[in-house]
Amino acid sequence: MTRHLIDIESLPPGDAERLIARAAALSQGAAPRACRGEIVQLFWEPSTRTRVSFEFAAHRLGLRSLAVDPERSSSTKGETLEDTCRTLAAMQPSALVVRHAEPGTPQRVADALAGTGVAVINAGDGSRAHPTQALLDAATLVDEGLDWAQARIVLLGDLRHSRVARSAFALYRRLGVPDLRMSGPSSLLPDADDPAFRGVARIEDVDSALADASVVVCLRIQRERIQALSLPDADSYHAAWGLTEARASRLQPDARVLHPGPVNRGVEIAPDVADGGRSRILRQVRMGVWLRMAVFEWVVGAAESTSSA
Ligand code: CP
């Protein structure tokens, strides 16, 4: 069996919970599974934490990771994305890790690789999905002892263009979080009928949205996905919609602040909040390695159980 991780919605029942629990266990010292093989990373968009944490995760499991730079590959000579991926798959890696600006690209790659036994892991496709970010955020909160049944989770900022938000809400719905909220300028909130935000309260007043929150996730403005946008300067944006020091000081005493990164300090979050006691930003980064190890174990374990059957 070949397992792909394309989005939260297509994960089989129970697998999201298993991946989160496995990442939390690895972070607490559980022994990683020994794996053999190669991983290819294909990032058509820039990345720091996702790409490097996939590399670290592969190395810690004994997998070799090779990064192919699309700008320096034969895709610049007219080769289609499918042919590039089929060529790489012909060298029989265990998985391709794919990031692309075009929504749906990881599924396209998975379709092109049908029958090869090579897994596809989505590292972010446009504003559609970023499943490993959602899973690592959830694992960070499990590590903190958060009770999903009591959680009140607010995502703040540019939700309209955010793949993190879409995957996060898909996951939190699956985990049974009863109180999901979003807040930000109306031009950066999604269309009212966007199904990815089903069941999420839309609260334009930031202070009301933050009241009694247990988790606040700040999101940067995704300028690379916005054609034209009229927004105030950074200081005015911060005052109106950012997690300022004053707003953070009014949060519940045990409220946690997350940010998937990269952080735009002084815009969606105050520098002292990003570095302060509520912030779990660097814990998220650390959990990213454990979670991606769990994903590789899940992918390679499925392939091995097929080949030994
Ligand atoms: N959170 C996230 O995807 O960050 P990078 O773009 O640095 O990978």
pLDDT per residue as tens digits for the range 255-264: 999 999 999 9
Cβ 162 under 6 angstroms from ligand 1: no
pTM score, two decimals? 0.96
pLDDT tens for 55-95 read 999 999 999 999 999 888 888 999 999 999 999 999 999 99
Predicted local distance difference test score (pLDDT) of residue 307:
64
Predicted local distance difference test score (pLDDT) of residue 225:
80
Predicted local distance difference test score (pLDDT) of residue 309:
56
Predicted local distance difference test score (pLDDT) of residue 308:
58
pLDDT tens for 30-48 read 999 999 999 999 999 999 9
* Amino acid in the structure at residue 35: C
Contact predicate 243/216, CB 8 Å: yes
Mean pLDDT calculated for residue range 238-247: 97
Question: pLDDT confidence of 305, banded at 50, 70, 90?
Answer: low
Query: Of 29, 27, 34, nearest to 62 (Cα)?
Result: 34
Number of H helices, E strands in the chain: 11, 9
What residue owns the CA closest to ligand 1's atom 6? 47
Ligand 1 centre distance from Cα of residue 47 (Å): 5
- Strands 201-202, 119-125: pairing kind: unpaired
Cβ 50 under 6 angstroms from ligand 1: yes
Q: Is the pLDDT of residue 306 over 70?
A: no
Predicted local distance difference test score (pLDDT) of residue 71:
87
Ligand 1 centre distance from Cα of residue 305 (Å): 32
Cβ 262 under 6 angstroms from ligand 1: yes
The CA angle 142-145-149, to the nearest 5 degrees, is: 80
